[in-house]
Structure 1
Amino acid sequence: MEDGEDQMMRKVLKPLEGDENKGEKEDMSLAQFDRPDKHCHAGDHSESSLLIHQLGQDISINCLLRCSRSDYGAIASLNKGFRFVIRSGELYKLRREMGIVEHWIYFSCSLLEWEAFDPIRHRWMHLPKMTSNECFMCSDKESLAVGTELLVFGKEISSHVIYRYSILTNTWSSGMKMNTPRCLFGSASLGEIAILAGGCDPHGNILSSAELYNSETSNWVTIPNMNKARKMCSAVFMDRKFYVIGGIGVGSAKSLTFVNNELYAADYAQKEVRKYDKEKNLWVTLGGLPDQAVSMNGWGLAFRACGDRLIVIGGPRALGEGMIELNSWVPNEGPPQWNLLARKPSGSFVYNCAVMGC
């Protein structure tokens, strides 16, 4: 974002910065698990409040923090206490404070259907199918992962709509609205917050406004406008600041992402990966995209950050049949060396993609 907005962004991001009294924070958060179900019977209460009786509640929670979130669904089925702890979201808050993060890749290759991929366990998972009307199903969509939520933005007959998937309950819901509904915006998330900037309103007007979303409160807050209106732009959080780059109205759009506070771009036309040199204020070509990465002017291919690595999702297609491939590379001083993480048959290309870290 422009320099004039820097002071406001610092105020917005200040609560996200590290806290020297981290241990005190954890103790306070653990206390929130004391009464998982105030309506349960005495015997049930003992079981659920201690979780693992022989270990006690605090040690039980600390064990859960270090489990893979792939296991949380099975753990939640053990008893009321585990189910409450998993679904309350407090575990993920503690994990974030302790720097425990697992990045999963969420993508859609079929209308109303989403899948998730765990790159650590190489595990594919199907999300529940979205329930919506035909207008939303056929509309262009945009997606964003923030906190423990996956947001999918689309359009119904006369209005923009947002569908929200929660990993806490494994369900979809709708009805949430921005202060200024929009599409074709730039967006990025940092922890439990996300910022959406620019785009078009329901009448096609290009916007300069921006909004901040807090996934823990489900609130949308309007923040200061950008200096220029723009749509089809890219956005990133870098060096704890929010940047909006390119877009119609100010220049060409780029597919951007960042790893370890370094900015990278995918040039689909040249099939190249570029890195932004902050000191010299220029883009440097690093090397090529994966050989099998095929797109139509960037459509059908996703370029994302996933923890400390770059991910390219896409694959070869022929006569309506094809493969979805996930290739990854951990940036270093040399040219990209792409490693195939996973592949599976797919009858379509990648419509939407988001990476959730929690």
Structure 2
Amino acid sequence: MTFSFSDRESLSAGTHLLWLGREALDFACYKYDLITNSWERGPPMVNSRCLFASASCGEFAFVAGGFEVVSISLHSSSQTLCTTSCVLNTAERYDARSGKWEALPPMHTPRQKCSGVFMDGKFYVIGGKDRDHNALTSGEVYDPLTRSWTMIPNMYILPDTTPSFEPSPPLLAVAGNELYAIESSTNLLKGYLKNSNSWKVLGPVPVRTDVSNGWGLAFKALGDELFVIGSYQPPGSREGVAVFSWKPQLDATTPEWRPGDPSPEWRMVNIRVRGNGTFLYNCAVMSC
């Protein structure tokens, strides 16, 4: 498996780690089982997709949106593969107990390059691009109890600066049941204030996100702690991949961080010098 024909996606459910992408002519899913310490071919999605939103909760993994390749042809003169894709509003859920995918009700808006989180017992899909490649600021939330989606207008705030190239999907993580985002163009961490549907600047992150506009790094959470993983060069040392952690305290009443204020005290967990670059392709958190 190479997955060199598309973006790769990884997510966890229970003791299963799923790795998804498109091989030469078709989508593929591979599954790692923590109990047996083995890889095998995983079950196909109901709708195969790339650049979708995903989030995990216990034995379940939720996915929504993305794009599906509907046709593949070989260009006769250049001998290259040509694809036709469709932006999706469909959603589905993987159950680690049965090892199967099941379809969920569709979202209101088709979107790709969106991001997902699980918060307050619900699956949130935020941001992304529509069928015309326009940036979306809305979010949608799926309630597993009612099996319904609710739109949240203006949930995601686009950065003020114009990126030099296509930005990554929103960098989102939920710690302590609170939502956080890294603005890739400014390297700033923001916290989401649920009551006002607004964002509050908390300060810079220790890893440069603006260099590659959010690509090649990971922003994750475990319990009440945030983790950022990416390229970092300590003074007098070689560049490597570093892991930083921080336990945020999101308070709507405290002043917003301003330039010149003390920065959040991120703790370096580890750093490893790599000889083949510091671009991070995939990262998934397995909490079981």
Q: TM-score range by the shorter chain?
A: 0.7 to 0.9
What's 1:239 paired with?
120
Q: Is the 8 A contact 2:52 2:63 kept in 1?
A: yes
The offset of 1:291, in angstroms, is: 5.1
What's 2:162 paired with?
none
2:20 alignment partner, one of 153, 160, 167: 153
The offset of 1:205, in angstroms, is: 0.2
The offset of 1:336, in angstroms, is: 2.4
1:205 alignment partner, one of 86, 94, 102: 86
Structure 1 residues 291 and 161, CA gap change in structure 2 (3 angstroms): closer
SS of 1:352's partner is: coil
Alignment of 1:310-329 (within 5 A): 310-316=226-232, 322-329=239-246
Moved more, 333-342 or 139-148: 333-342
Letter in 2 for 1:198: G
Distance 1:285 1:165 in 2: 37
Q: Is the 8 A contact 1:179 1:220 kept in 2?
A: yes
Q: Is the 8 A contact 2:5 2:23 kept in 1?
A: no
State yes or no: 1:279 paired with 2:209. Answer: no
State yes or no: 1:298 paired with 2:214. Answer: yes
Q: Is the 8 A contact 1:266 1:272 kept in 2?
A: yes
Distance 2:4 2:56 in 1: 25
The offset of 1:322, in angstroms, is: 3.0
Q: Deviations over 1:138-170 (max 9, x none)?
A: 642111111111111111121110111111111
CA RMSD of aligned residues (A): 2.0
Alignment of 1:79-118 (within 5 A): none
Q: Deviations over 1:6-49 (max 9, x none)?
A: xxxxxxxxxxxxxxxxxxxxxxxxxxxxxxxxxxxxxxxxxxxx
TM-score by length of 2: 0.73
Q: Is the 8 A contact 2:117 2:125 kept in 1?
A: yes
State yes or no: 1:336 paired with 2:264. Answer: yes
SS of 2:62's partner is: strand
Distance 1:225 1:294 in 2: 33
The offset of 1:137, in angstroms, is: 4.9
Distance 2:205 2:284 in 1: 19
Structure with bigger gyration radius = 1
State yes or no: 1:189 paired with 2:56. Answer: yes
Distance 1:289 1:199 in 2: 28
TM-score by length of 1: 0.59
Q: Is the 8 A contact 2:5 2:24 kept in 1?
A: no
The offset of 1:357, in angstroms, is: 0.3
Distance 2:231 2:24 in 1: 33
Q: Is the 8 A contact 2:51 2:113 kept in 1?
A: yes
What's 2:36 paired with?
169
Distance 1:231 1:293 in 2: 21
Distance 1:184 1:293 in 2: 19
Distance 1:299 1:187 in 2: 17
Greater strand proportion: 2
Q: Is the 8 A contact 1:294 1:315 kept in 2?
A: no
Q: Deviations over 1:262-293 (max 9, x none)?
A: 00001121000000001111000000101566
SS of 1:280's partner is: coil
Q: Deviations over 1:186-243 (max 9, x none)?
A: 0001000011001111221000000011011111110100001000101111100111
- Percent identity, aligned pairs only, is 42
Q: Is the 8 A contact 1:301 1:312 kept in 2?
A: yes
The offset of 1:300, in angstroms, is: 1.3
Gaps of 5+ in 1: 1-131
Greater helix proportion: 1
Structure 1 residues 140 and 254, CA gap change in structure 2 (3 angstroms): closer
Q: Is the 8 A contact 1:148 1:167 kept in 2?
A: yes
What's 2:185 paired with?
269
